[in-house]
Chains A and B, each alone.
Chain A
Amino acid sequence: MLTTKESEFSVNEHGYYGNFGGAFIPEMLYPNVKQLQERYLQIMYDPAFQQQFRQLLSDYVGRPTPLYLAERLSHKHGASIYLKREDLCHTGAHKINNTVGQILLAERLGKKRIIAETGAGQHGVATATVCALKGLECIVYMGEKDIERQAPNVARMKMLGATVVPALSGSKTLKDATNEAIRDWINNPLDTHYIIGSVVGPHPYPDMVTRFQSVISEEIKKQLLEKTGSKLPTHVIACVGGGSNAAGAFYHFLDELSVKLVAVEAAGCGIASGMSAATTQLGKPGILHGSKSLLMQTEDGQVVEPHSISAGLDYPGIGPLQAHLYTSGRGTFMSATDEEALAAGFEISKTEGIIPALETAHAFSVLNEMHFEKNDVVVVCLSGRGDKDLATYMKYLK
């Protein structure tokens, strides 16, 4: 079951993790955000809600997802490496854990219209899916540039009945799609719920999305206990764009200080190249999309357009929990370049028979830079499958 807990790494009553978080929103958004702040925990931990949520996760999403001991990878690195198979979730990534939770919440709030932002389209597809399931209107904002480069996911969303609206402002990618979704919410305050796809946005979104995704680490604990006799791994590794799969994979280990939490950002063409999305390396404290976190920006505080080969990591910020894990030292932040991620994607495909999403390939890539002891138990969160990235992979297929 989901549990409430108080720790150095849980959100305080004002929505802060350490110095990061809060709800920096214009008054027009206040009633909706306040309603969520007041009701999300009460709704989420209502037994009837939990029963419905758990049922959908099991019967519709296909949970629990397997925890798979990757033998060839383990042999190579001289440790036990387990893969948490979020790629086997319905729609192909962990994103649906959150959208199932939020659609049930939206229903209880009496909302009739759902909006979402999407970058690569995975969250858009996961949102369109649950809207189809519940018969609710679904509008997905997607940067005009991303619509061009992620055509299969655009088609999936349309087939699921969603309206895909191109974000034409700013740099026409994920950041701008998020701006457009926020503007839509400002203009439609009464009947609309905004399903944010990552652990970003004003409080309570980072905490709410983390809690919906925490099913990942809850299962890891249980499965490890069955397989190894101990519920604690030595390492958990996950990629970080906004940070939702990492937040979910870390959640139940946050206070287990023996567990090393490794977050992998997208270095793009290299951290110093000017074409990167490694927010902890390049960002400073700032405010975007309603919360204070680390943010890639110019000296004047204008938000910088990031770059990553993976559209899901192509975001100039990270969630406030992730920023807190970074500054407090609880999380170890590493990065992988486009090239390293591609190489890892090809390697995992050949050694394990699993084509990972390009986002996830970043997490695999750092295995090559880490040193393990024989008894180490490493869990990599395999956040999504790579079908959506085939066009990119094929460009590099020799």
Chain B
Amino acid sequence: MNRIDQLFKQKHHNVLNVYCTAGYPHLNSLHEVLASLQAHGADIVEIGIPYSDPIADGPVIQQSNMVALENGMSIPVLFEQLENIRNDIHLPIILMGYMNPVLQFGMEKFCAAAEKSGVDGIILPDLPMYEFETEYQPFFEKHRLRFIFLVTPETSETRTREIDGLSSGFLYAVSSSSTTGKNKAIEDQVAYFKKLQDMKLKNPVLVGFGIKDRLTFNSAAEYTNGAIIGSAYIKALGDTTGIDLSTKEFLNGILA
């Protein structure tokens, strides 16, 4: 069974998905990052594929993308690093990236390599529903990858249902219309989270964008299945204390 589906079968509340950028802070730090996240309480890991032009991301993740590219990260290198990852990482793994690098690698080849590495789901924020349905959906299905779409407070109810229908794994609810890492007040979005809950969608819902600490995590998780943290963790990884210690302190601050 797909690990994302399995997780949501067992756990319905306070699911914590943590984003990291492949190749950040060091070219080969991915394994240590994933192992630390697993050891200290994350439920899902989302691995960002670095890109020169990440338009949905704020400065923190942009910077981590630049560093990762300078370090030499690429899709082929990432798949090399993931080759034996399932020996000791058992959390669901999601790859998040932008369309262009994936297209150059080849969408079908990408899906095949992802399945082979034990990846469970894919997020491509700039792949719209029309192109997904007309061109790419069969590749994800063939390789048993969940495809996670985004919805925002500005997404109409009809469209949210349409997106939910096409999504699998879970639905990524962007907390407010913004790029990643903006500190718009999560508390103000509670009405939106409630609305999502009342819609009784097919997929579990995780909230992302602006989640940075226990308070914001709890606000987001109260009416949904959990939340996604990205920029705040990337910032923590930038500390010089070492990956495992930074991760431990960061996750303790949210979960303990």
Residues of A within 8 A of B (CB): 14, 22-28, 30-31, 169-170, 175-176, 179, 182-183, 186-187, 189, 284-290, 295, 297, 299-303
CA A286 to CA B100, docked complex, whole Å: 6
Q: Would you list 25 pairs from A and B whose C-beta atoms are within 8 A, ordered by A residue?
A: A24-B127, A26-B125, A26-B150, A27-B155, A28-B56, A28-B154, A169-B62, A179-B53, A183-B179, A186-B178, A187-B179, A286-B103, A287-B98, A287-B100, A288-B53, A289-B53, A290-B126, A295-B100, A297-B100, A297-B104, A299-B104, A301-B101, A301-B105, A302-B51, A303-B52
Taking each of A27, A31, A189, A301, which has the highest tally of chain B beta carbons within 10 Å of its own beta carbon? A27
A24 touches B59 (CB 8 A): no
Contact of B99 with A28 in the complex, beta carbons under 8 Å:
no
**Please, which residues of chain A bring their CB within 8 A of the CB of B182?**
187
Report whether A30 and B155 are in contact in the complex, using a CB–CB cutoff of 8 Å. yes
Complex: chain A residue closest to B130, CB-CB: A14
Please state if A26 and B154 are interface contacts (CB–CB under 8 Å): no
Q: CB distance A27 to B99 under 8 Å?
A: no
Residues from chain B with Cβ under 8 Å of A287 in the complex? 98-100, 103, 126
Contact present for B55 and A182 (CB under 8 Å): yes
Number of residues of chain B lying within 8 A (CB) of chain A: 40
Task: Choose from B55, B58, B76, B130 the contact partner of A26 (Cβ within 8 Å).
Answer: B55
Cβ-defined contact, A25 with B128, below 8 A: yes
Residues of chain A within 8 A (CB-CB) of B66 are 170
Return B136 CB to nearest CB of chain A, in Å. Answer: 12
- In the complex, the answer to whether A170 meets B179 with C-beta atoms within 8 Å is no
Residues of B within 8 A of A286 (CB): 100, 103-104
Q: Is the Cβ of B174 less than 8 Å from the Cβ of A23?
A: no
The interface residues of chain B lying within 8 Å CB-to-CB of A285 are 103
Tell me the nearest residue of chain B to A189, going by C-beta: B177
> Are A301 and B100 neighbours in the complex by a CB distance under 8 Å?
yes
Give the complex CA separation of A289 and B53 in angstroms: 9
CB under 8 Å from chain A, chain B span 47-70: 51-53, 55-56, 58-59, 62, 66, 69
Is the Cβ of B154 less than 8 Å from the Cβ of A301? no
Interface centre among B55, B101, B104, B179 (most CB of A within 10 A): B55
B interface vs A, CB < 8 Å? 51-53, 55-56, 58-59, 62, 66, 69, 74-76, 98-105, 125-128, 130-131, 149-152, 154-155, 159, 163, 174, 177-179, 182
Instruction: Please report the C-alpha to C-alpha distance between residue A352 and residue B107 in the assembled complex, in whole angstroms.
Output: 53
Question: Nearest chain-B residue to A186 (Cβ)?
Answer: B179
Cα distance, A145 to B136, chains bound together (Å): 39
Q: Is the CB of B52 within 8 A of A170?
A: yes
Q: Tell me whether A26 and B103 are in contact (CB under 8 A).
A: no
Q: Judging by beta carbons under 8 Å apart, are B127 and A28 in contact?
A: no
Complex alpha-carbon distance, A299 and B56, angstroms:
23
Instruction: Please judge, given known A-B contacts A26-B125, A27-B151, whether A183 and B51 are in contact too, CB under 8 Å.
Output: no
- Please list the 5 inter-chain residue pairs (A to B) with the smallest Cβ-Cβ separation, ordered nearest first: A301-B104, A301-B101, A26-B125, A27-B150, A300-B74
Interface centre among A14, A175, A300, A303 (most CB of B within 10 A): A300
Q: How far is the CA of A285 from the CA of B107 in the complex (A)?
A: 14
Task: Decide: B154 and A22 in contact? CB cutoff 8 A.
Answer: no
Q: Which residues of A lie under 8 Å from residue B131 when comparing CB positions?
A: 22, 24
Contact A27 B125 (CB under 8 A): yes
Nearest A residue (CB) for B126: A24
> Which chain B residues lie closer than 8 Å to A186 at the CB level?
55-56, 177-179
Task: Using CB atoms, name the residue of chain A closest to B127.
Answer: A24
- Of B53, B58, B102, B130, the contact of A170 (CB 8 Å cutoff): B53
Q: How far is the CB of A65 from chain B (nearest CB, A)?
A: 35
Given contacts A28-B56, A301-B102, A189 and B154 within 8 Å (CB-CB): yes
Q: B156's closest neighbor in chain A, by CB?
A: A31
Q: Is the CB of A28 within 8 A of B59?
A: no
Contacts of A170 in B (CB 8 A): 52-53, 62, 66
